[in-house]
Amino acid sequence: MRYAALTEKGKVRPNNEDACYADGRVFIVADGMGGHRGGETASSLAVQVFLEKERELGNLPPVERIRRAMKAANRAVWRKGGEEPALQGMGTTFTVLLLEGHGYIGHVGDSRAYLFRDGNLQRMTEDHSLVEEMVREGRLDPAMAREHPQRNVILRALGVSREVEVDAVSFTPFQGDRVLLCSDGLTGALEDREIRDFLEVERDTERCCRMLVGEAERRGGEDNITVVLVDIQTGGRIGEGKGRGGRTGLKGLFRFRRPGGRRKENGW
C-alpha cells in the first residue's frame, strides 16, 4: 500500500481549519467550522480524541470501534465548545477510513470518501448538507448545488450537539483500488468526473494528491483543501503498508496536520 496526504489553506482563507491524519491503517479528513479559533480546534481535537479512543477500543469490531470513537470525539468537541465562549458553536466534519483486511468508513458532514476502481469513481459517503438533502428530495438540480448560496450549510457535524448519528460502511479492497478522502475544498472546485480523470491519469500517489490540490487552487482555492489518497497494492497485509511521513510529518508540500496544533480563526 502507498498513501499520501496533503492539506493546503487555499488562496483566500487566511488559515487552514482542515486536519488530516494517515498512518497506514487509519486515515482521516476533518474540516472544522466555527469563528475565530473554533474550526481548527474542533478538527484537531476530533482527530486526537478519535485516535486515542479507537486504540483504547482495540478489541471491538472495526465498525463499532469507529462509531464509539467518533461519538467520543463528538462529545469532546461539544464539551470544549461549551466551556470556552470563544469556541462556542464549533464543530467539524469527520471522515475516517480504517484498513484492517477490509475497509471501514465512518462519516459525518460533507467531507467525502471515494473509491476509484476499474476506471470508475464511486462516492462512498453521503453529504450531510442542506443542498444534498434538497437534491435528494428533488427540490434542487444537482448542477445548481455547487453555486447554491447555502451550499456550506451542514446538517450533521461532530461537536455541535451532545449526540451524533454516525454513518458507517465497509467494503473489500482489491489490488489497484484507490481510496480518496477529501474536504469540500476539493469537491467544491472539481466535479466528480474531473477527480476521476486525475485518479485515472496520475498513478503516483503523492503526485496525484499534489495535482488535485493544485487544480483546486488554480480554480480559485476559495476554501481549505485536503486530500488523503490510499493506493491498495498487494505484497503486504492491508493495513500495514508504508506511506511517506506517517505521524512525523511529510517533507515539502506533503504534511500531516498534527492533532492539537496551533489555533487559527476562520469560518468553514
CA angle (251 as vertex; 1, 53 as ends), nearest 5: 60
CA angle (26 as vertex; 21, 32 as ends), nearest 5: 40
How many other C-beta atoms lie within 10 A of the C-beta of residue 108?
A: 30
| Residue nearer to Ca ion on the CB measure, 31 or 231 | 31
Q: How far is the CB of 111 from Ca ion (least distance, A)?
A: 8
| Residue nearer to Ca ion on the CB measure, 104 or 268 | 268
Q: How far is the CB of 131 from Ca ion (least distance, A)?
A: 14
Query: Which string of DSSP letters, residue by residue, matches 130-181?
Result: HHHHHHHTTSS-HHHHTT-TTTT-BS--BTSSS----EEEEE---TT-EEEE
| Residue nearer to Ca ion on the CB measure, 217 or 223 | 223
Q: How far is the CB of 32 from Ca ion (least distance, A)?
A: 8
Q: How far is the CB of 267 from Ca ion (least distance, A)?
A: 9
Q: How far is the CB of 230 from Ca ion (least distance, A)?
A: 21
| Residue nearer to Ca ion on the CB measure, 43 or 74 | 43
Distance CA 17, CA 266 (A): 7
| Residue nearer to Ca ion on the CB measure, 18 or 231 | 18
How do strand 178-182 and strand 91-92 relate by DSSP bridges? unpaired
Three cell numbers written together for 225: 483543501
- Give the footprint of Ca ion on this chain (CB under 5 A): 31, 184, 223, 268
Radius of gyration of the chain (CA): 17
Q: How far is the CB of 86 from Ca ion (least distance, A)?
A: 20
| Residue nearer to Ca ion on the CB measure, 34 or 81 | 34
Q: How far is the CB of 165 from Ca ion (least distance, A)?
A: 21
Matching residue, cell 505484497:
235
Distance CA 248, CA 235 (A): 24
E strands present in the chain:
2-8, 18-22, 26-33, 91-92, 94-100, 102-108, 112-117, 120-123, 167-171, 178-182, 225-231
| Residue nearer to Ca ion on the CB measure, 226 or 238 | 226
